[in-house]
Structures are given as C-alpha cells and as structure tokens.
Chains A and B, each alone.
Chain A
Amino acid sequence: MSEVREIDYTGSERLTMNMGPQHPSAHGVFRAILTLEGEKIVAVDAVIGYLHRCHEKLAETLAYVQYPSIASKTDYVAAMASELAYVMAAEKIGQFEVPKRAQYLRVAVNELQRVASHLLWLGTWCLDMGGALGGGTSVFLYCIREREQILDLFESLVGARLLYGFHQVGGVRYDIPTGWVEQCRTTMDLIEQRLGEYESMLHDNAFFEMRTRGIGVISSQLAQDVGVCGPLLRASGVKYDLRRNAPYSSYEDFEFAVPVETEGDCHARYRVRMVEFRESIRIVRQVLDGLPEGPISSRPGVKSLAQVKVPKGEAYARVEGPRGEVGCYLVADGTNKPYRMKWRGASFSNLAVLPHIIPGVTVADVVAIMGSVDPVFGEVDR
C-alpha cells in the first residue's frame, strides 16, 4: 500500500474499496484498491496488468515486417502513433530513407488519429463525470459520431477502422485513394465546427467547472519526475512537444502552436487538448495543401519475412502520440527480428502519477482524474 496519509482524527472507520477491474470508469481494466475515510481517499494501490500480452517478448519473435500491425494493438485507440514509433526505431538503426510523400502521409494520419483519440477522450471523460444516464452520454455520443467520420477516412485509406498496419519500414503501405483529400477536408471542417458546439456545452458550464477546476493537480516537478508526458505535461506548465522539440517525419515543415497551461488540474488538461484538436486539424490541412508527389515507400511492398534486415545497433524512437511520448527502444542484432524491444507506453507513465495525486481527493474525483489522464490499457499493460 503506497502513500498512506495518516489523518489525525479519531472515530472514523476505514473502508477498503475495490474500484475495478470491472468498473464503468476503469477505462478498460484498471483496478484501484482505495482506502476510504468516508468519501475521502487516504490511500490507493493501483493494480495493472490485466491486459498484459507481453508485447516485448512477442516483438522478439516477430520480423520487422510483421510487428507494425501488432504494435497497433498496444495503444489501440491511437494505433497509427504506435506503428510509427516502431517503424521509426527500425529506420533509425538501419538508416532507411523515407520519401517525403510518405512522411507527409504519416503526419496526416497521425494528426487525424490525434483528433479521433481526443474525441474518444472527451466523450469518455464526460461519460465518467456525467454518467451513462446523464449529460455525459450526450457528449459521448456526439464525440463518437464525429470519430466515426475519421474512422471512415481510415477505412477508405487502409481498409481497417481500428488497427491499421499502415506504416512499414521505409514508408507507408497505402497511397491515398481518389477523392480522399476532399473527403478529409469536409470532415475537418465539420469537426472544427462541432468542436465549437462541445465548447459551448462545456466551457462555461458551472457543473463542468466544479468537477474539474483544482482537481488532480500535477505539479510540473512531479510530472517530470514521474515521466508524465503529452497533454498532461503541457497542462502542468512544461512546454514540451516532441513534434516541436525533436521533430520527426517532417514535422518541422508545418506550423502549429503548442498549448501550455500552468494550473495542472483537470480543467487545464481539457483546455490543452481542446487547442490540440484545432492544431491537429490545422496540420492536416497543411499536409493536404502541400502533399508532394513521389513514391510512398523507399522499399518494395512486403513479400517475405526476411525482407527487412536491420543491422546490429540500437535506437530509441519516439513520437508524440495523442497521450504523449510513445517510445520504442529497439536493440537489433542483424537478423530480421529485433533482439530486444522496450515499449514506452505514454499511458503507463501517465498512470503512474495516480498514486501521487489521488490520496486526499474524494471518490467522485477519482473518475474525473482518471478520465483526464486518458489511459489506454492496451498501452499500459502491453
């Protein structure tokens, strides 16, 4: 039991409550063993691993051409980012070149993925705070409606809606079909307009403010110490975005703002993500405007398992996924399979902050904080 805070008054009985792994706001399979005094939480033990599939062992047994489609199953809500991290690690060791068009396509799908993932975050977070029988469901269903449009775009691009296998070492697998650009533009316009509707529903809503302001504050020092990343880190006052600080895949070609808030509470995370929505849409538009002609991959399409051989070496490639730094640490031994792969899931580090901020809040705040952290358990448990 970590972080037990002794509260100095007598006459209160402690209650141990098991929240999860089967719980409506467990966001998958999270289990928090809460110690309660009344409604106040005095200690929490976070239990994870219910979705563990040992991706890292699996990666040692699968070839470089096979694993990208498995990598999408780590963070299944943002599969594009996970795939990209893996192929970038392999490209980094092997010094494989990626054509400009492929880089732009990677940016486009990753930003679309960010919009889709943030839509799911907003919906499920409101569902956590508003309940399946309340206003939260309304926001959730609106968000899902918009997310469907992006999944439709992915479907016409890849043929799959959730787990794509779009990236391959050296480029991407599929070029955009005819009419996709127009469809994409229409969708972006629609979503941008709908974002305004969500904001008018939430932004000055007194109930929303009461649930989120000052709740689950992560200081910038704690955030860095634990390795919290992405929107959470930026909401804690650290201006750090891999797309800006360590550009990959031609992100330096695009103009976008990196939102930073200093409060570090749930509302700050909400504001950061709401800006990110719009910035992602802006990047997608820039990609569509400036998409260069040319090949989509420097290597031929996948024909055999031994097709990609990566020389001996190691590399750590990271991308700014919707939830933060998705990193792939790859040790290659010269064969067609990695010797060792370490997956740094953004949600794993983000979730690790919970034992530090949950003691002292109430039961109702736990779900608000959980939702604002936006963990995906495929990535936490890997």
Chain B
Amino acid sequence: MTGTSAMSPLLVALISGGVVLGALTGLLAYVTLLERKFAARMQSRVGPYRVGPHGLLQPIADGVKLLLKEHLVPDAADKGVFNLAPVIFFIPCMLIFASMPFAPGLGVADLNIGVLFFLAVSSMEIVGLFMAGWGSNNKYALISAMRAVNQIISYDLPFVMAALVPVMLAGSMKLSDIATAQQGLWFIAYPVIGQLAFIAFIVAGVAAENRTPFDILEAESELIAGFRVEYSGMKFAFIQLGEYAHVIGTSFLGAALFLGAWAGPGPSWLGPLWFTIKALLVFVLFTWVRWSFLRIKVDQILSISWKLLLPLTLLLLLATAVVIVIRSGAGV
C-alpha cells in the first residue's frame, strides 16, 4: 500500500472500515434475499418476485419500509435499555468483521489474535440480546432472553473448541496465517480431524446463531418472536441485520478456517471473490439446516451441548494435539 505513509493510521483504519462496512451492508441485504430465495425453492415456492427483476430490489424495498415504520416503545418498557439494546446488539455483530482479512493485506486489522478477537466479540451480542429481552418488559421477551443466556454460553464453548482445531493445525491465531497454512491442503480435507471439526463447527455455529433447530430464543410459535417481539421499524432492522451479520461473519470464519479462505483458481485479485463465494456456501449450508429441521427444546439443547458436543470437541482437540506432536516428532 504505497502512499499510505502520508496518511495517518487512524485515517487508513477509518477508510478501510468504511469500505468494509459499506460492502458488508450491501452483502447483508442481498444475503437475506439469497436466504429467502433458497428457502422458497426448498418449499416449492418462487420467493420474492415482484420488486425488480426476479425480486432483486426486494432488500431495498424492505429497508425503505423498515425505515419508514413507526417506532413503538411499550409503555411499561425500560426505555433507556430498550432503545440502547439494538445498538449494543448490532455493534459486536459488525465488529467481528474487523479482524477478517478478505485477501492478503486486505482487511481492517489483521490481528495476530484474529480468531480470539472474533470469538470474543461475537459472544458480546448476548449483552444486547439480554438488554432487549429485559427492557421490553414482556414475559415472552424475558423468557427468550433467559434462554439466550443459557444457550449462547453453552454453545460458545464447543464453538471455540471446534475453531481451535484449525488454529492448532496452523499454529497461529492470525487469520491470514491460517489462510496461508491452507495453501496446500484445506483444513476441511485434513484426514478425519478436519471433517469432524467442520461438522462440530457447523452444529455449534447454528446454535450460536440461534437458527433452527436451535432457535429457541426466537421460537415464534412459542415465544412469538422472543426478545425482539416489541421492536419495530429501524430498531427491528438493526436486530435483524445484526443477526445476519453474525451468521455471515461465522460463515466467513468457517470459510477462513476450513475452506482455505481466498485460495482459488485465477489471478490473486479474485481472492476476495472466492472467499465470499465460500462464505456464501457455508451460509447456504446453515440455511439448508435451518429450513429442514424442527426446533428442539431448551433442556435438550443444553444437554446436547454439555453432554455431547463439548466432550467430543475436547476429544477432537486432544486428538489434534496428538497428531501434531506425532507429525512434528516424525519430522524432527
């Protein structure tokens, strides 16, 4: 990056942050369309079709609609908490992209603890979520918030364990190092360990993002819409966008950790495109799971996490360590 020396680091960060944020918002809008179209095809429907050719302008119409909607605040709500919650929810969901390198050297901040930063920030969303549930002063929202705390704490552990497998294989927490380490062999192709870790990552990821079959906190047939039941207009849009940002962020992480990030045929400037395509593939996998299964109950979700997923991912981590030691021992 020539010429950046003249600019202050802060300015560079601001510009690159702005570019990522802008591109991301556009991507998010169209990811909702992708999900709706994909779900529609699964259910032998057409999906959004009226706004623009093949419904391509639908996300914009949705955005405009949500912008124009009235902001309702329940009379008995804790107004400060209620109004602040969507923002608190939204910020960590967008912040997770800060450590994401979209190509070698292209990203906001390629931290040397990128994975840790991602995992730490992404579980911050629970604060906003609980504030939304509490501030709404609605019993459904409160139950949903309680469930959220239970579930996200339970599933962040196996999620971290699954994400640690590639970290161990690459020997670095820096996402670009992990990507470089996969130049020869994507980690998903790593014998046995890679596939198991990917499956665990997807399962824990679905749960950490509160999507069906683990969407007990939204659970519109029990809790109507859970913590967001009282939100309308742009505040609702913030929560919705935040959720999609979280899903897409997790998809990018999955693509970075297991699918070789920007590696792909063609010139190197196609890297970000390959990365995005891989992330969208992971996203479609999440979507596929979502629209195929029924929801399970909170106690079952917790027992799956603590009794099944966590011990298994721990074992997997142990196995990875053993493999690394054996291979390095063989090398030495």
Contacts and interface: CB of A to CB of B under 8 A. Distances in A.
A175 B216 CA distance: 50
A18 B143 CA distance: 13
A298 to B, nearest CB: 45
Interface in B170-224: 211-213, 215-216, 218-224
Contacts of B295: 129-131, 134, 136, 207, 211, 364
Interface stretch (B102-110, B268-276, B297-305): B297-305
Contacts of B224: 23-24
B134 to A, nearest CB: 14
B19 interface: no
Nearest to B300: A210
A134 B290 contact: yes
Given A205-B294, A207-B294, A142 B220 contact: no
Interface residues on B, range: 20 to 34
B300 A133 contact: no
B212 A130 contact: yes
A127 B43 CA distance: 13
A253 interface: no
Contacts of B296: 207, 210-211
A295 to B, nearest CB: 42
B84 interface: no
B222 A138 contact: no
B291 A210 contact: no
A226 interface: no
Interface in A7-39: 15, 17-18, 23-25, 36, 39
Given A141-B45, A142-B43, A145-B44, A129 B221 contact: yes
Contacts of B140: 17
Interface residues of A, number: 36
Given A131-B220, A133-B215, A208-B294, A138 B139 contact: no
Contact of A207 (B43, B219, B290, B293): B293
B212 A15 contact: no
A134 B295 CA distance: 8
A130 B43 CA distance: 14
B292 interface: yes
Interface string B22-42: 000000000000000001001
A91 interface: no
Contacts of A18: 139
Contacts of A131: 212, 215, 218-221, 295
Contacts of B43: 137-138, 141-142
A367 interface: yes
A249 interface: no
Query: Main SS of the interface on chain B?
Result: loop
Nearest to B142: A15
A367 B291 contact: no
Nearest to A126: B294
Given A131-B221, A137-B43, A364 B216 contact: yes
A135 to B, nearest CB: 4
A128 interface: yes
A363 B221 CA distance: 10
Interface string B272-288: 00000000000000000
B139 A366 contact: no
B291 A364 contact: no
Interface in A317-371: 362-367
B212 A134 contact: yes
Given A131-B220, A134-B215, A362 B299 contact: yes
B38 to A, nearest CB: 12
A355 B291 CA distance: 33
A135 B215 CA distance: 11
B45 A135 contact: no
B222 A135 contact: no
B297 A364 contact: yes
B293 A24 contact: no
Contacts of B215: 131, 133-134
A134 B213 contact: yes
6 contacts: A23-B224, A130-B212, A131-B220, A136-B294, A364-B222, A365-B297
Given A17-B143, A131-B212, 9 more contacts: A23-B224, A130-B213, A131-B220, A134-B211, A137-B39, A138-B39, A201-B292, A207-B213, A362-B298
By Cβ-Cβ distance, the 5 closest A-B pairs, closest first, are A134-B212, A130-B294, A141-B43, A135-B293, A25-B221
